A and B are shown apart, each in its own frame.
Chain A
């Protein structure tokens, strides 16, 4: 309690010394389109400020000049046709002057055609993470693909138990690495509810809608790490599915792709290795924290009415095959998704083993573990 109060006071004091008071405008961004959008924004902003200054200026002057103590006799006029025409026509002209450049920029944004030397990345929204599939980079017979999960630990956001890191809620385990100066088409869709892929620095915000593929094309001009968010309410952890894009040179990008390929080949070796329960438990615990704890909670107790408890669950304790099936297929009509694509065989086995051994489940249930080979067998239909 005292610790909490201390942290609270600390946050109050750091509040006044911070420099973020000036972070009050839209970022200019790092694409040609984002710069155009910024210019449009500033133009319409100054137009509205000018209108405000003129209208309110005249209004405040009249309020002061014609206050009762200064003007006992009010005028009686009710209309003035010339004036009324004037204040219909002038705003119309201003609006046309704004709408024309806006329409031109919009047309540019709507150029969705694939370009020579460009690439396509499919973006899939899931509750509550993003999946990226590099459609032009094949590994085996499948595109290079991974999920990006929030890495900010719960201790930072729940009750502020520890101090927050610099990129609080804007950090993920897998960054989207892309080359600069390359036209990239993000093909955006969703696996469950509607999400929205928002990267302010690219002036891109496209809804991820199940059954639809929306296109956002962008060419990043400067290398760097760019952070964004989900901007369509998608349930409980809407605020916890950030986007991190790392734009690098073409050479660095090729190196990254090569590393990714190698890691995937490594996996085949790991699947065949003999695993001990302790190894699986340790690896599973890490995966549980990032992938499962959001709903089923760190202590496995779930949330009554929303997410079932895993601690003491009959399936988790005694039905090994049933549990594998739930993780592989998901449960239709609930928020339990299929993790078949999200976790490789090793991680899947590890996280299942963890849940079967943790929270006294091993004492109350059969205490069996799941090894990567079980998952491979399940996929083949042999389990």
Chain B
């Protein structure tokens, strides 16, 4: 009897044929795939812009573009990488993995899921369309500080694009929270949830909390630019510093939105390839929750030089330093997981190990930046550029690459080419360090960020950095090749894929069928 019912369901729920499958899909796996490809396209676009920036900075002087164009590339590189590459990649992973990891058949709100994806390309078309207009793309930096931004051409397009991205993010987050809260397999308590699910639950709450703040900031900006208000215009009684407070109240949690899912991913991968349970599962959860809570009270460490009173400077310095404690706990837990394991080094593990090391380097330079008197020297120099690229590129982005290699066999049913994967890792690893490590040096020596041109004493390390950037950028084409190859061919993957892997997603076939867990699995408490 039950067999008949299952057949009936399968007849009606296979994927549609052709382009309509992707336009109208409500399937979490299809939407996850869309998010991941969109993110990769944006990664290459933003990466091409970064290579343009590094080409201009290869030597002092203006060679390839005027400073207007340079500022536009800097701005769009930031916006595209944050809102177009890193965030959508994590949402794509969430779509693929959360239902499979908690034993749910799909996301809780599948139609909204479709809408939240398709809003994203619309937002980026609006944003990028400014490239073809008189006045061009926004050129005020991704932080769009007022009053520089209020007097810029085409700002309404930027504001509208940010609004649409924000709506997409909020809908995605609601979906994640509702799915996790309501659709876990019977017997799976909150504390038993896999860490990637936990990391996304926390991230989703952060997104819902701060995206409206960003929307408020851009709306005030729009009002100042077009409707004669003076929120940020000192001449009209407004306050330019208010903008920064509002922006960074969004901006700092946003930074953790881009790193918490990476913590989840890394925990899974390190445990799998060490063939050992993760050390301190619950302390990992507590650490992530503490980091998320603290992220709301440290925003002004981005603003130590705006002239805040001493008491505020001290508060934000101390609060920022406290974040090092839960972050340290996470790193120690990963090291303790490796200790006494039985470790192999497949590509996902290489990326995960590099994540731990290089993210920690970025975290340690963050600790240096927290020391306010020293920040008066570091602030807005290349030291900051080096710091945040260390946490975002070999941090967030390496974790995304690790995740793709780790779960790709589950998605496609084929193993990727291990030799090529390792080559991709080593080229990326060398490229990223050659690019960003020298930026610490020029930053300490005093080179300000967002400079189209610079004094002669910074020339040497900038040239090295540019060479590294081209190596890193071009290596990503190899990544594209490896993924495409694995989609179409390769050694067939088993359901288990990795012998040390644990979790519900490894109990379904590879490739994962179009519908999984239509009957919920039993999880033992």
A contacts, CB < 8 Å to B = 8, 11, 15, 18, 20-21, 23-27, 33, 36-37, 40-41, 44-45, 48, 51-52, 55-56, 58-59, 62-63, 66-68, 71-80, 83-84, 87-88, 91-92, 95, 98-99, 102-103, 105-107, 109-110, 156-160, 164, 166-170, 192-194, 196, 198, 200, 203-207, 209-212, 214-215, 227-240, 303-306, 333-335
Q: Is the CB of A48 within 8 A of B444?
A: no
Bound form: Cα–Cα A193–B145 in Å:
9
Of B91-99, B314-322, B388-396, B489-497, which stretch is located at the interface? B314-322
Q: Is the CB of B140 within 8 A of A98?
A: no
Of B199-207, B255-263, B273-281, B403-411, which stretch is located at the interface? B273-281
Q: Is the CB of B310 within 8 A of A107?
A: yes
Question: Number of B interface residues, CB 8 Å?
Answer: 99
Who on chain A is nearest to B64 by CB?
Answer: A159
Bound form: Cα–Cα A66–B356 in Å:
17
Q: Is the CB of A95 within 8 A of B325?
A: yes
Q: Is the CB of B281 within 8 A of A102?
A: no
Q: How far is the CB of A75 from chain B (nearest CB, A)?
A: 4
Bound form: Cα–Cα A72–B279 in Å:
19
Of B13-21, B105-113, B163-171, B377-385, which stretch is located at the interface? B377-385
Bound form: Cα–Cα A168–B66 in Å:
17
Q: Is the CB of B341 within 8 A of A103?
A: no
Q: Is the CB of B71 within 8 A of A62?
A: no
Who on chain B is nearest to A332 by CB?
Answer: B235
Q: How far is the CB of B114 from chain A (nearest CB, A)?
A: 38
| Residues of chain B lying within 8 A (CB to CB) of residue A36 | 373
Q: Is the CB of A63 within 8 A of B353?
A: yes
B contacts, CB < 8 Å to A = 59-63, 66-68, 71, 134-136, 139-141, 145, 147-148, 151, 153, 234-235, 238-241, 274-281, 283, 305-307, 310, 313-314, 317-318, 321-322, 324-325, 328-329, 331-332, 335-336, 338-345, 353, 356-357, 360-361, 364-365, 367-368, 371-374, 376-377, 379-381, 440-441, 444-446, 448-461, 463
Bound form: Cα–Cα A103–B451 in Å:
31
Who on chain B is nearest to A27 by CB?
Answer: B446
Which of A23, A79, A158, A233 is the most central at the interface, judged by chain B CB atoms within 10 Å of its CB?
Answer: A233
A44-B367, A109-B373, A210-B147 known; A66-B234 Cβ under 8 A: no
Q: Is the CB of A59 within 8 A of B357?
A: yes
A238: contacting residue among B283, B325, B450, CB under 8 A: B450
| Residues of chain A lying within 8 A (CB to CB) of residue B280 | 78-79, 84
Q: Is the CB of B356 within 8 A of A59?
A: yes
A210: contacting residue among B68, B235, B446, B457, CB under 8 A: B235
B368: contacting residue among A20, A45, A105, CB under 8 A: A45
Q: How far is the CB of A141 from chain B (nearest CB, A)?
A: 25
Q: Is the CB of A71 within 8 A of B340?
A: yes
Bound form: Cα–Cα A18–B464 in Å:
14
| Residues of chain A lying within 8 A (CB to CB) of residue B66 | 236, 303
A-B interface, 4 closest residue pairs, ranked by CB to CB distance from nearest: A211-B234, A214-B307, A24-B441, A75-B340
Who on chain A is nearest to B322 by CB?
Answer: A95
| Residues of chain A lying within 8 A (CB to CB) of residue B460 | 15, 18, 20-21
Q: Is the CB of A306 within 8 A of B135?
A: yes
Bound form: Cα–Cα A160–B67 in Å:
15
List, sorted by A's number, 16 A–B pairs whose CB atoms are closer than 8 Å. Answer: A11-B59, A21-B461, A26-B444, A26-B446, A44-B367, A52-B360, A66-B341, A75-B339, A80-B279, A102-B317, A102-B373, A106-B317, A160-B59, A203-B373, A238-B71, A305-B136
